Chains A and B, each alone.
Chain A
Amino acid sequence: MSLKKFQDKDIIQNTMRAYPRVKFFIFDSVVYYNDEPALSGATAGHVKNVPAGHISLYEYNIDRILHHGIAGEPGNASDPAKSIYPFITKQSQGAKFSTVSATSYTTDFVYGDIMTGSYPLSASITRNYFTNAGQRDNIYNEETGEVLLNAGPPKNPKYYALRNRLNFYGTLSEHYNITASTNHAGFDSDGSALPERAGWNKDQQSINLISIPSIFYGTSIDPGTVSLKWYFSGSLIGELQDIKQNGELIQVGPAGSANSGSVAGVVMYNEGFMLLTGSWDLGDGAPAIGILASSTDKPKWIYFGAGAQDGIGVSSGGTSFLSASFDMSFHGHTDTQVITMFAHAPKGMVNISNNPTYIKSGQLKMLHTSSNIYEENPNRLIANVVSSSFHGHNADFKRQVYISKIAIYDENKKLIGIASLANPILKNEQDDYSFKLKLDI
């Protein structure tokens, strides 16, 4: 078998960039992802065995009863498994599931024991509300009875984990900064009037943190595509967009609403977090909906997304909780490396096949064979597969093949890939073909 070597211009490596649309709609403590309804299954509560708004990593165990049976013996008749699950046998390599702690790995399992995991693995957005984001626990000295206020470990470690990163993005927009001092009214370099802007300290603010796992958006959220909409009884009472593409979530709607143009929070594009601090009332006519703080609270951005895996529901929310619904949309950003290979079948080449049917059947394969000699029949004929236009007439022989597959070999001539054609291509001696092979990494 002859091999043809790829030339420099035959292999192209590039990046395919995509911006997948992502939309979450939150209502009545249920998150809907990309408008996908919550489907109940025949045997499982949810068809995918994950709640609405969650992504099932492999989408295993669709509409199945989750039951492992005897570990590693799915076909055991006494207790057969009803769902797919992964397992690892404890071996010297030290591999384990991340759900097995180092202590448990050492003490609970001996070599040869089976450690099981479970499917489905899922991801979803979550909302955290911090009334006083930077608050710390108090430390009580048992010997002296002294109480050190706000000196212990953070009460909201998720917020503390983001503080450094927020300050890092301070160069993008000052609204990322943890602290900012008041800017008094004045004029900018163009002479335009600047209103007074109050300072802040995020540590002392109420913060609404929305966490978005990267499986939803890829490498980053695409700047300029973020939109947060708050609906009350179906009417839009507030919309935020990152119109400056610098992470500031600016109120842009409804048109002419109070506080339009104000920054209500920031989005961390690379990390997948949104922090909302806007605490002004939304919707002039909206009644108090009583989410969290008090029953007299009106809609605010710090309450946006209430019900998204935060434990808030009809019972814990206010009387108007069911009137509130939330829409969060943005575009993700994914980079896929693509290798494009051009495999050429020039005229006068690639004209024979090693397929056994290429040779006319019924011919003697060997002429002589003994302990000293092996001689194939040199007079074997190639099967004539040329199509004739006339009934009962065999067309004259032509050297032709049908190309059905293209095999790719590495520099050691090891087969590393096969591209199959949808339909075999007829190649005559005078034909010149180039096949375009694409491989997404």
Chain B
Amino acid sequence: MPNQFQPFNFNQDIVTTKTLLHEAIPLTGTIFKFGTGSYIEENIKNFSHGQFQAVYDYPYLSSSANHIFDLTLGIDEESSLSSSATVQNSKKINMYNQMAQTLLGYTASKADGVHKFEPDLSLNTHSLTPMKEVFFINLSRLLTKDQIKKGTFSITLATGSWTDATVAGQTVTITDASASDSGGTTSVLGGDMALLYAGDGALSTHLATTEAGNVPVAGGVVGNIFYQAGVVVLSASVFQSDDHEEYFSQQSGDLVANLKSIEGALTSSAISASCNALRHRVCNIAFNNTTEINSNIYFCRVPWNRYNYTTNPTYVNNAKIRVKNIANDPPIAYITTVGMYNAAGELLATAKLSEPLRKDPTNELTLRVRLDY
């Protein structure tokens, strides 16, 4: 219990700071079974509603498993691939619209009033065709924390034919290379958004849409990334070949030949089957996340003429101060704890020193107390 308080000077003794803590998050292909033939995987959880599948880093029935992302796809109702014959057509449309509404919001310039995912940042360039068939990778909050660090996202995909998807030269790395903390993003309803670019190779001049006859997009834009929401929107066109015959998916029970192009998978496969096919083509996902740590730093000043005594019971022995032999010996105290009180004199917090500090009238101390929240 203190018998004297040292008041803070609010202009000089209290400082507010913000520190950015990052984590490097590599998601290697072994987690989502890149390149393996089996579709029976215990890391993957499918649901009876069939709208998305959840990917875990360990068998999901284990309490140790961490949810790492959800995977689904969506098709805009204006897409040429959308028809009553398309498997789960309404679910795919609803998924697209739901994600578009949440992430991009509304616009009066579209027939259904919903912004489409577009391969540019202005969201109003009508000369460019929006991405109408997309995969969604919804990264879990456990991994993205406050947000994905801009300019650090990369995903490596095997984009060739199913039979040789993992052959060297068939993979492409897609990044948000143009984004940084100082630019390359735009602010939308779902937070900051940037574009995903394919690296060098065939995809660098690829269309961002699977529809034929559309205007190519310069620079190989193949998707969007939403940093605070932790959502990656990937155009299905990255798996499209010029002749529309390369095989995207192979799954037992799918059609006669068991082989489908990306268009075939989008129209005649369930969402979970297409997600399986995509998952087996993801070699690697990597990004850095960001956690903002706000801190108050309190400079607790101990002047030379104060805190040289203590009210600790052990300070006195037989009514005599232990550290004094004669009356005019200088007093000594050892500071072990800093108590912080409010204006009413109520103890709010204590800060412990790693080792006691000797205090006597010959020295002054400033103790830096940091409170993170």
Contacts and interface: CB of A to CB of B under 8 A. Distances in A.
Interface of A: 43, 47-48, 59-60, 62-64, 68-69, 71-75, 77, 80-89, 91, 93, 95, 356
A339 to B, nearest CB: 17
Contacts of A74: 24-26, 152, 286-288
B57 interface: yes
Interface in B280-301: 284, 286-288, 293, 295
B286 A80 contact: yes
B25 A62 contact: no
B44 to A, nearest CB: 15
A72 B24 contact: yes
Contacts of A80: 26, 28, 284, 286
Given A60-B66, A356-B106, A84 B23 contact: yes
B21 interface: yes
A59 B56 CA distance: 13
Contact of A47 (B19, B28, B64): B64
Contacts of B28: 64, 80, 82
Contact of B154 (A43, A75, A82): A75
Nearest to A60: B66
A81 B24 CA distance: 8
10 contacts: A62-B66, A74-B287, A75-B286, A80-B286, A84-B26, A85-B23, A88-B22, A91-B19, A95-B19, A95-B293
B113 A62 contact: no
Interface of B: 17-26, 28, 30, 57-58, 64-66, 106, 113, 152-154, 156, 173, 175, 284, 286-288, 293, 295
A75 B26 contact: yes
Contacts of B64: 47-48, 59, 62
Contacts of A77: 173
Contacts of B20: 88-89, 91
What 3 A-B pairs come out closest when comparing CB atoms?
A75-B286, A75-B154, A74-B24
B58 A62 contact: yes
Contacts of A71: 24
Nearest to B314: A164
A68 B18 CA distance: 26
A323 to B, nearest CB: 32
Nearest to A95: B19
A93 B152 contact: no
Contacts of B288: 72, 74, 87
A88 B286 contact: no
Contacts of B106: 356
